[in-house]
């Protein structure tokens, strides 16, 4: 099938196209130079054209997300949509059903989303849900930092075997990147404990959070994985934790070679100054300063949006603290030899001092970090708010007026302590295209995503707004409305959304990395691992492996390693 | 003869995955490592089989049976789809779409076993874990209202009391407590047996929480147990490094139901202020957990989903199959991998007998006998593959070991055919 998108204002930062009026030609799911006269024409005159959105961190599938659904029937009652001839029924607000997730991302013009944390033992579940998320392409990060086999190898200094094990696990379980969640702390949560610094011991392993992070960062390079290590810090959610965040970034600075080698996720949750909830302040200026001076770091925001949320992380001890703070219902789910997960429903309130400070932190980070290629838009869905609120966050970034409107309603003490009122920066459409698709695709090293150059996947978002005429600073509501409902979303060359409605549905691809591991090394490693498996796990190694036939639409990405 | 190793047993919620079976002439001839129930399941699955589809007791072709099933579902105003705990997750997933398409009720057997566990969790949450966490760490284990020695025969050896883990090496290093109304076989193996007065679980759980929090109890006796004993128990719970509470229908189905679970959740939550504590439901059928999981990701709700509005609506006690049936609301039923007639209240069964019932099952059951349409299917985990979720929600892949009898398809395949035809019929 051929498509010609005519006369749109195109924002394609990877190809340095900044609001040029041009045509985009599509054939067989790819962007091409030109198409025949038979091509279906989409008139994008006076519209905004961008690559499809790429979300680098969102909780969309797997045991933790589904536990959230089961835990929260009250979340689903008021947010429903009946089945249509094209779509399945939609249900759920902060923790929507798989179908709902696919449709809602597509309506926003997003076409690629990565599940942020899958414990290996439950990754079969993650894939079963990914199989049922329509339209978007997807993948998942594997949580590996509190994995006993990894910790054993790191403690013994057997980094080659550790790398071979991690390489094998990506092949076996079909994941995309190494996720680190409160390294060491989650292992200790097995005993109801936690770590407090990067140098705490993690008995019985002879290692520390710092050594785990450094070890996995080195292994990431040895395996030549497409993404960096993707890290949720220690001390998350605690006042004063911005220091831990900077220390964490700095602990791998000497391992960098000019490119980013660490991604710190949802930095809002680990960007707190002060030393108690009373003295809490934003640590964003300090973090932004570090990021501005060090190009080995990328971050995403975890921006708070006031209203309902469901907190869900692999950080069991953090969720335990949160349930004690809120008294809300709490689910904890530890996974043998691998980690944990916790879920606590939450509501962010404007008048609440802590929530208001949290709101300012995310925006400060985005506005104070100068290089948009290293700061990405997320709400850590559904932790700080749902992904449906991205248009709202975008308008806060594009309009000082929009920010001030909220600032006038939030807790007064929080406003007084924040530097946000003094920041004048307003994002351009070009910068928005960077932080929502171009930079995230680049950080994931997805060569065919996040841009509209010839050969790229024809994943395209068209919004009904004229970027040449509108002043987003003043007319931010118009921007928000346009971004909420794409005029067109095109996925793999197919029109899936028209005027904010789903017009076609199918299942997108699940991509995963397949690192090449030297045969002898893999054999040696597997011999040891199969012995450990009998002791550590309650399933056999054979049954742990996920067959490629278990993925609805599997897309392996071969990786040459440096092993 | 060939040997297949690491077979996942499709019987109970323990989903033991280390079974070895020997196959000869497309038959399982020997089973190693499985419990007695497992061995029977693998070797006798061919008894009481149904080999031909039936309409009103008359043998028909598969196509005729499917057409009749489609007619019944398409013409029904409010059909109910029920069962699902003994089939693959993939099959259940198709069932959900059928229910959505015809605007019916989709419910699974959790509504008559661990439904209260889910309701308790929805009220208060739950601190839980995978079974390996118990194997590796638990120094203290409580079995409350459950009897794994009979119902989950290898549970204690593989996952709990007598399992050998990284930090806790076996039965001798663990304290085992059983709370039950009678001295079960499990209770006989326990270090401490608490014989509780029937229907007083809520009181004992609440008293325990009080004792954990405040040390002393005012009353002399609660739930038939002396206060000193309860206080002593509370001290034990606090002072272990890792404790696990396993619970069964003795807790979910005795007086209080979901409130019992909520009380247990709150006790465990309180205990986590002092030590590490978790609780795990002893789920019965091998994929009842999977039924809850797939329904939750596809509809938001783990059981009792009503699609009559076009979108999922959940109101247990109203949208649960047994209630829909007792009220006489549904005008057709599709039963898959379950036998409600053998366990439901008489009034519900009387109403079920009045409406056209379609049943998919490998075996003859009381439900097949009252069904208008019977479609025999393959035995999942022996003749058909698919995914299943263990009681702790660990997903495993069931294997296909032998070919099903000629002409017999899996639940998944039959449901796909029904769905395809229904889509042509219903818009």
pLDDT at B426 exceeding the cut of 90:
no
The pLDDT value recorded for residue B74 is: 97
CB contact under 8 A, A97 and B269: no
What is the C-alpha separation between A289 and A294, in angstroms, rounded? 9
Q: Name, in order, each residue with C-beta under 8 angstroms of A384's C-beta and a sequence gap of 6 or more.
A: A266, A268, A269, A302, A303, A304, A305, A309, A348, A358, A362
Q: Name, in order, each residue with C-beta under 8 angstroms of A329's C-beta and a sequence gap of 6 or more.
A: A71, A323, A344, A345, B122, B123, B124, B125
Q: Are B304 and B84 in contact (CB under 8 A)?
A: no
Domains and CATH numbers, chain B: 48-111+286-397+404-425 (3.40.50.740), 115-281 (3.40.228.10)
Please state, for a pLDDT cut of 90, what percent of chain A lies above it.
100
> Strand, coil or helix: what is A5?
strand
Mean pLDDT, residues A547-563 taken together: 97
Residues in chain A: 563
In the sheet with A342-348, reading across from the earlier edge strand, the strands are A307-313, A342-348, A330-334, B125-129
> Strand, coil or helix: what is B14?
coil
| Burial group, residue B345, by CB count within 10 angstroms (0-12, 13-18, 19+) | exposed
Nearest CB partner across the interface for A89, out of B122, B136, B312: B312
Q: Are A378 and A319 in contact (CB under 8 A)?
A: no
Residue A32 is assigned to a structural domain of this protein: no
Mean pLDDT, residues A162-182 taken together: 98
Beta bridge mates, B213? none
Q: pLDDT tens-digit profile of A418-430?
A: 999 999 999 999 9
CB contact under 8 A, A85 and B427: yes
Phi then psi for residue B21, to 5 deg, are -125, 150
DSSP string, A371-388: -GGGEE---TTTTSS-GG
Residue A10 is assigned to a structural domain of this protein: no
Mean pLDDT, residues B46-61 taken together: 96
Residue A551 is assigned to a structural domain of this protein: no
Q: Are A223 and A558 in contact (CB under 8 A)?
A: no
Handedness of CA A383, A384, A387, A389 (dihedral sign): positive
Q: pLDDT tens-digit profile of A342-377?
A: 999 999 999 999 999 999 999 999 999 999 999 999
DSSP string, A315-362: -HHHHHHHHHHH---EEEEEBTTTB--EEEEEEE-TT-HHHHHHHHHH
Please state, in angstroms and as integers, the Cα–Cα distance from residue A166 to each residue in A169, A176, A178, following that order: 5, 11, 8
Please state, in angstroms and as integers, the Cα–Cα distance from residue B136 to each residue in A191, A533, B164, following that order: 11, 12, 7
Q: pLDDT tens-digit profile of B111-129?
A: 999 999 999 999 999 999 9
CB contact under 8 A, B100 and A122: no
Token pair 């039924």: residue: B291
Token pair 């897309």: residue: A555
Q: Which helix (H) or strand (E) holds B302?
A: none
Residue B56 backbone zone (phi > 0: left; psi -120 to 50: alpha; other: beta) = left
* Residue-range definition of the domain harbouring residue A372: 50-502
Handedness of CA B310, B316, B321, B327 (dihedral sign): negative
What is the C-alpha separation between B256 and B251, in angstroms, rounded? 8
What average pLDDT is seen over chain B? 97
> Strand, coil or helix: what is B404?
coil
Q: pLDDT tens-digit profile of A25-41?
A: 999 999 999 999 999 99
Residue A238 is assigned to a structural domain of this protein: yes
- Flag whether residue B5 sits within 8 Å of chain A, measured between CB atoms: yes
- Flag whether residue A190 sits within 8 Å of chain B, measured between CB atoms: yes
- Flag whether residue B64 sits within 8 Å of chain A, measured between CB atoms: no
What is the C-alpha separation between B35 and B362, in angstroms, rounded? 22
Enter the ipTM.
0.97
Total Cβ atoms within 10 A of residue A252: 22
Structural domain count, chain A: 1
Residue A515 is assigned to a structural domain of this protein: no
The pLDDT value recorded for residue B256 is: 95
What is the C-alpha separation between A382 and A274, in angstroms, rounded? 26
Name every chain B residue with its beta carbon within 8 A of the beta carbon of A73: 122, 300-301, 314
What is the C-alpha separation between B207 and B217, in angstroms, rounded? 7
Rg (CA), chain A: 22
Residue A540 is assigned to a structural domain of this protein: no
- Could you tell me the two tokens for A86? 């094209």
- Flag whether residue A531 sits within 8 Å of chain B, measured between CB atoms: no
pLDDT at A399 exceeding the cut of 90:
yes
Q: Which of residues 389-408 of B touch A (CB under 8 A)?
A: 389, 393-397
Residue A534 is assigned to a structural domain of this protein: no
pLDDT band, very low/low/confident/very high, at A2 (cuts 50, 70, 90): very high
- Flag whether residue A90 sits within 8 Å of chain B, measured between CB atoms: yes
Nearest Cα to Cα of residue A437 among A6, A5, A11: A11
What is the C-alpha separation between A59 and A143, in angstroms, rounded? 13
pTM as predicted: 0.98
What is the C-alpha separation between B21 and B1, in angstroms, rounded? 10
pLDDT at A208 exceeding the cut of 80:
yes
Residue A194 is assigned to a structural domain of this protein: yes
The pLDDT value recorded for residue B427 is: 66
pLDDT at B271 exceeding the cut of 90:
yes
pLDDT at A71 exceeding the cut of 80:
yes
- Flag whether residue B109 sits within 8 Å of chain A, measured between CB atoms: no
Phi then psi for residue A440, to 5 deg, are -70, -40
- Flag whether residue B427 sits within 8 Å of chain A, measured between CB atoms: yes
């Amino acid at each position: 099938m051929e498509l010609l998108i005519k006369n749109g204002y195109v924002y394609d930062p990877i190809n340095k196209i900044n609001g040029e009026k041009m045509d985009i030609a599509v054939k067989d799911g790819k962007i091409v130079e030109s198409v025949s006269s038979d091509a279906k024409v989409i008139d994008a005159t006076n519209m905004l054209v961008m690559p499809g959105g790429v979300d680098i961190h969102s909780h969309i599938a797997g045991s933790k997300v589904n536990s959230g659904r089961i835990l929260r029937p009250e979340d689903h009652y008021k947010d429903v949509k009946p089945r249509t001839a094209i779509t399945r029924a939609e249900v759920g607000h902060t923790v929507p059903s798989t179908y709902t997730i696919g449709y809602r991302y597509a309506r926003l013009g997003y076409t690629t989303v990565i599940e942020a944390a899958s414990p290996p033992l439950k990754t079969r579940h993650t894939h079963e849900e990914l199989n049922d998320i329509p339209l978007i392409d997807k993948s998942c990060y594997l949580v590996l930092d509190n994995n006993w086999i990894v910790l054993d190898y790191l403690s013994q200094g057997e980094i080659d075997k550790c790398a071979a094990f991690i390489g094998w696990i990506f092949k076996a379980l079909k994941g995309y990147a190494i996720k680190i969640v409160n390294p060491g702390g989650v292992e200790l949560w097995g005993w109801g404990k936690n770590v407090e610094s990067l140098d705490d011991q993690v008995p019985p392993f002879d290692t520390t959070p710092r050594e785990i992070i450094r070890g996995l960062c080195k292994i990431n390079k040895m395996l030549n994985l497409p993404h960096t290590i993707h890290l949720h810090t220690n001390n998350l959610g605690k006042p004063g934790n911005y220091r831990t965040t900077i220390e964490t970034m700095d602990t791998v600075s000497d391992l960098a070679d000019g490119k980013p080698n660490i991604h710190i996720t949802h930095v809002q949750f680990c960007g707190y100054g002060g030393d108690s909830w009373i003295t809490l302040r934003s640590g964003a200026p300090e973090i932004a300063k570090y990021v501005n001076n060090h190009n080995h770091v990328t971050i995403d925001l975890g921006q708070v949006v006031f209203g309902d949320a469901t907190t869900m992380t692999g950080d069991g001890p953090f969720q335990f603290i949160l349930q004690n703070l809120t008294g809300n219902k709490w689910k904890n789910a530890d996974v043998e030899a691998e980690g944990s997960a916790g879920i606590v429903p939450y509501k962010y309130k404007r008048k609440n001092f802590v929530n208001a400070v949290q709101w300012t932190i995310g925006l400060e980070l985005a506005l104070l970090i100068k290089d948009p290629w290293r700061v990405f838009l997320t709400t850590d869905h559904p932790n700080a708010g749902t992904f449906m609120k991205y248009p709202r966050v975008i308008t806060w970034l594009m309009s000082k007026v929009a920010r001030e409107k909220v600032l006038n309603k939030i807790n007064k003490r929080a406003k007084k302590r924040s530097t946000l009122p003094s920041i004048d920066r307003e994002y351009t459409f070009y910068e928005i295209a960077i932080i929502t698709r171009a930079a995230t695709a680049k950080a994931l090293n997805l060569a065919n995503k996040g841009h509209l150059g010839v050969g790229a996947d024809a994943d395209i978002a068209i919004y009904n707004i004229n970027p040449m005429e509108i002043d987003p600073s003043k007319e931010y509501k118009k921007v928000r409305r346009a971004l909420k409902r794409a005029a067109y979303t095109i996925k793999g060359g197919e029109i899936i959304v028209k005027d904010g409605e789903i017009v076609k549905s199918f299942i997108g691809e699940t991509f995963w990395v397949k690192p090449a591991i030297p045969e002898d090394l893999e054999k040696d490693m597997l011999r040891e691992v199969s012995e450990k498996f009998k002791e550590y796990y309650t399933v056999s190694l054979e049954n742990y492996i996920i067959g490629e036939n278990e993925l609805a639409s599997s897309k392996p990405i071969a990786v040459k390693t440096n092993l | 003869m060939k040997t297949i190793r690491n077979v996942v047993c499709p019987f109970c919620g323990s989903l033991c995955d280390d079974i070895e079976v020997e196959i000869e002439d497309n038959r399982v001839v020997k089973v190693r490592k499985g419990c007695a129930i497992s061995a029977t399941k693998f070797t006798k699955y061919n008894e009481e089989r149904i080999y031909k589809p039936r309409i009103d007791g008359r043998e028909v072709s598969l196509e005729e049976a499917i057409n009749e099933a489609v007619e019944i579902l398409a013409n029904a105003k409010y059909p109910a789809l029920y069962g699902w705990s003994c089939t693959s997750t993939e099959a259940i997933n198709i069932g959900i779409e059928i229910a959505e398409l015809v605007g019916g009720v989709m419910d699974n057997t959790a509504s008559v076993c661990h439904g209260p566990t889910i309701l308790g969790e929805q009220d208060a949450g739950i601190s839980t874990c995978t079974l390996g966490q118990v194997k590796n760490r638990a120094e203290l284990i409580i079995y409350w209202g459950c009897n794994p020695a009979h119902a989950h025969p290898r549970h204690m050896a593989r996952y709990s009391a007598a399992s050998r883990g990284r930090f806790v090496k076996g039965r001798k290093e663990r304290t085992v407590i059983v709370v039950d109304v009678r001295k079960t076989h499990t209770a006989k193996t326990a270090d401490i047996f608490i014989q509780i007065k029937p229907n007083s679980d809520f009181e004992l759980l609440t008293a325990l929480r009080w004792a954990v929090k405040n040390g002393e109890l005012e009353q002399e006796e609660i739930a038939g147990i002396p206060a000193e004993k309860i206080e002593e128990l509370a001290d034990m719970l606090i002072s272990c490094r890792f404790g696990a509470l396993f619970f069964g229908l003795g807790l979910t189905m005795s007086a209080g139901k979901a409130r019992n679970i909520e009380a247990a959740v709150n006790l465990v939550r309180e205990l986590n202020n002092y030590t590490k504590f978790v609780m795990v439901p002893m789920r019965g059928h091998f994929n009842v957990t999977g039924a809850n999981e797939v329904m939750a990701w596809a509809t938001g709700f783990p059981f009792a989903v009503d699609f009559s509005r076009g979108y999922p609506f959940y109101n247990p006690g109203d949208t649960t199959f047994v209630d829909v049936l007792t009220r006489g609301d549904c005008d057709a039923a599709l039963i898959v991998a379950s036998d409600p007639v053998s366990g439901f209240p008489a009034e519900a069964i009387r109403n079920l007998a009045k409406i056209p019932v379609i049943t998919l099952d490998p075996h003859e059951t009381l439900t097949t006998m009252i069904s208008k349409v019977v479609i025999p299917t393959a035995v999942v985990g022996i003749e058909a593959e698919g995914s299943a979720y263990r009681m702790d929600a660990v997903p495993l892949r069931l294997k296909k070991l032998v070919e099903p009898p000629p002409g017999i398809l899996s639940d998944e395949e039959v449901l796909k055919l029904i769905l395809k035809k229904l889509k042509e019929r219903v818009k």
